[in-house]
């Protein structure tokens, strides 16, 4: 998420430079279901998946959409070995958690690209209707009016072209077009 930090542990330090929670305090990822099946499991709790939209998550939790099957999930343990690429519900201020087997407490370092939102495919041609107009770094747009407020539709030329002001998309094969700020630059 935009305000996430990366939490890593160094094998040579016994205590962190900032005192975060020990890794055991973070919940483990748990696959619960998908598309509201089983119905009684939804909305999902923190570190539960598979979510597709924020409304799949309880309260203020958001749906963290992973890009690739081994991407770490902020605020949660596990998932690096997963092969499905499940998306999980997280806190908006979550951090990416990893720990060395020789260290009990992680250290914290900032994530340099944290100020930029990740690309998110929402729909196309106003389907689903409630998702439009699109927010920053959401797609697929075709015209500027598909985007909220002063955002513009950035039409990509090729499937791997970077989208200004947004993270991700290089591995995408559809060539989705995304809403961006007019003054955005390539991240």
Q: Phi/psi zone of residue 107: left (φ > 0), alpha (ψ -120 to 50 degrees), beta?
A: beta
Q: What is the mean pLDDT of the chain?
A: 73
Q: pLDDT, tens digit, for every residue of 59-99?
A: 888 888 877 666 778 888 876 666 677 888 988 877 766 54
C-alpha–C-alpha distance, residues 1 and 176, integer Å: 21
Q: Which residue has the tokens 């729909």?
A: 123
Predicted local distance difference test score (pLDDT) of residue 104: 40
pLDDT band at 46 (very low <50, low <70, confident <90, very high): very high
Residues 6+ apart with CB under 8 A from 138: 119, 120, 121, 122, 131, 178, 179
pLDDT band at 107 (very low <50, low <70, confident <90, very high): very low
**Top mean-pLDDT range of 20-29, 117-126, 162-171:** 117-126
C-alpha–C-alpha distance, residues 184 and 165, integer Å: 5
Sign for the CA dihedral angle at 99, 47, 93, 185 comes to: positive
Taking residues 115-143, report their average pLDDT: 86
Q: pLDDT, tens digit, for every residue of 3-12?
A: 333 333 333 3
Predicted local distance difference test score (pLDDT) of residue 108: 37
Please tell me what DSSP assigns to residue 171. Answer: T
In angstroms and rounded to an integer, the radius of gyration of the C-alpha atoms of the chain is 18
Vertex 178 angle, CA 118 and 185, to 5°: 70
Q: Which residue has the tokens 């499940």?
A: 86
C-alpha–C-alpha distance, residues 122 and 11, integer Å: 41
Taking residues 112-128, report their average pLDDT: 76
Is pLDDT of 1 > 50?
Answer: no
SS3 label, residue 92: coil
Taking residues 102-111, report their average pLDDT: 38
C-alpha–C-alpha distance, residues 91 and 99, integer Å: 20
Which carries the bigger pLDDT value, residue 47 or residue 7?
Answer: 47
The side-by-side arrangement of strands in the sheet containing 88-90 is 30-31, 48-49, 88-90, 62-64
Predicted local distance difference test score (pLDDT) of residue 102: 39
């Amino acid at each position: 998420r935009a305000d996430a930090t990366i939490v890593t542990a160094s094998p040579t330090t016994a205590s962190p430079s900032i005192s975060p929670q020990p890794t055991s305090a973070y919940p483990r990822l748990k696959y619960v279901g998908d598309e509201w099946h089983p119905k009684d499991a939804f909305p999902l709790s923190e570190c539960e998946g598979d979510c597709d939209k924020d409304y799949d998550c309880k309260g203020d939790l958001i749906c963290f959409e992973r890009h690739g099957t081994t991407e770490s999930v902020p605020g949660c343990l596990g998932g690096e070995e997963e092969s499905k690429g499940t998306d999980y519900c997280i806190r908006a201020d979550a951090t990416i958690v990893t720990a060395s087997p020789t260290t009990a407490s992680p250290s914290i370092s900032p994530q340099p690209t944290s100020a930029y939102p990740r690309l998110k495919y929402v729909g196309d041609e106003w389907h689903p209707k409630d998702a439009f107009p699109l927010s920053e770094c959401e797609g697929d747009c075709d015209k500027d009016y598909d985007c909220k407020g002063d955002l513009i539709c950035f039409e990509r030329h090729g499937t791997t072209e970077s989208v200004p002001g947004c993270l991700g998309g290089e591995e995408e094969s559809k060539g989705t077009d995304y809403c961006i700020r007019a003054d955005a630059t390539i991240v």
